[in-house]
Structures are given as C-alpha cells and as structure tokens.
Structure 1
Amino acid sequence: MDILLLALLVVVFLGLPVLQMRKQSKQIGEIRNFQSQLTPGMIVQLTSGLHGRIADVGETTVDVEIAPGIITTWERAAVLKLVDSVAAGSAEADHLTGSAADQVPDDLSSLDAAAERGEDIAEQSEDLPDDADRRDEGESGRP
C-alpha cells in the first residue's frame, strides 16, 4: 500500500509537469511556425492586444499599419494570432482600410455647430475667477 502511494506521488510530481512542458513546447512551435509565415496584408493581433494590417515583413521585425498611414515596427515575436477580417466584423476591416467615416471634409461648414456651442461656453466662462482673483489666493490656490 505504501509503495502504491509513493508511485502515485512520483507520477503526480514528475509526470504532470512533463506533460505540461510537452503541451507548451507544442504551442510555442505552432506560434513560431505561424510567425515565420507572416506576409504583408494579413490582419493580426499583437501580444499587447493591438490589431493591425502587416505592411512589411523583415527578418526579425514586422511593420504593422494600425491606422491608415500610421505604421509601427514590432518584433516578430509580438505577433500573437491572425484575425479573420470577415469574421472580426466589417467595422475593424473598415478602420484598417480607411472607410468613408475616416474622410476629412475640405471646408469648415461642418464646424458651424461646434462654433455655436463654443459661444455658449464663452458666456459661461464669465462666471469663472479671473487672474486677479487667482493672485489673491497665493501659491497654494487657497483664499
């Protein structure tokens, strides 16, 4: 009975870690294989959670376009997984490719409403203390 208990303890303390190491090394091999097959145009997720489209692949680095015209350089090891552009939703794909919502108007007509709101803010700012009141408060900001 004591030998059976000892054998069980040996299996638990030595066998389980070996199985876990094998599983982990298999996962690492799959990730390295994926990272070696990176090509421009793929939409990927980085280990930081950032999503982007691969713009260029170097020997040890990857250039990732995180917004139209904004390219950042990352180590290949930072690429975690491939994101399915269709399954991830059209919002993300539109963001990465530059949709109509990303377009900036050539004129300032769309800012008229903001200018009107700015006038309201200017009227409310009259209630705030001016610089002379702040000087009376001293350095600590207390009256």
Structure 2
Amino acid sequence: MSNTLNRIRKYRELLADINEIDIRIQELEEDILGISGQGMEERTGKTYKITSSVEQQAEKLIEKKEQLYREQIIKKRELKRIENAITILTEEERDIMQIVHIEHRKYYVVQEKLKLSYQRVKQLEKQAAKKMEKYIY
C-alpha cells in the first residue's frame, strides 16, 4: 500500500517532469538546427566511415532527443496509470487522495471538507489505496 501511495504522491512531479522534457527537447531541436546545415534526409548514416564533426554532433543530439522521448513516454504512462486508478474511487476516496497525496496537504483539510473523523479519513484512504493498487502496478 505504501508503494502505491508513494507513486500517487509523485503525480505533480510527473507533470513537471513531462513539461521539463518538452522544454529540453525543444532546446535540442534548436541546437540540432543550429549546428546542422543539412536536412535530416541528406546526412550520412552511422555506417559510413567518413562523417563530419558537425554530423557527429548532430547525431549525438538526435540520440539524446530520442532518449528524452522514451523517458517522457514512461512518465506519461505512469501518469495515465494514476489517473485511471483514480477513476474507480468514490468521491470521498478521490477527495482524500487528491488533497492528501497529490496536493500534499494535511489530513485536517480533508476532515473539514468531508466532515469526517481522522480515523474515518485514514480508513477511506487505506481502502482507496487498495483499490488503486491493482491499476498502478
């Protein structure tokens, strides 16, 4: 259960990571355009023995860009898992997970909003985490 909650707590971090990767990809694309005078279809491949330093530099940037895309896909998939798991929760459970684990706020905020005791909030939280566990792993 704690692993499930830890993954849910990283929701906002995942969003920020995905946006950061977008920015880094954009910067790489600008760098690639800046160093390469050739169109992508005209550059020589890795198999040719003679390549210019500009082509080698562009190739490294392209590889880095592809790695960033792969990293972004993994993070987006994790985000979708969390969002999908949240859909099966009741409104109260969803509020608890949203406020406590995604917004990183205190339990008393949930208690006041839902008019529930601390013990009941913890009980619903545990129940929600168990439901979500199936979809997050």
TM-score range relative to shorter protein: 0.3 to 0.5
User: Per residue, is there more strand in 1 or in 2?
Assistant: 1
Q: Which has the higher contact order (CA 8 A, sep 6+)?
A: 2
Larger radius of gyration: 1
User: Per residue, is there more helix in 1 or in 2?
Assistant: 2
TM-score of the pair, normalised by structure 2: 0.33
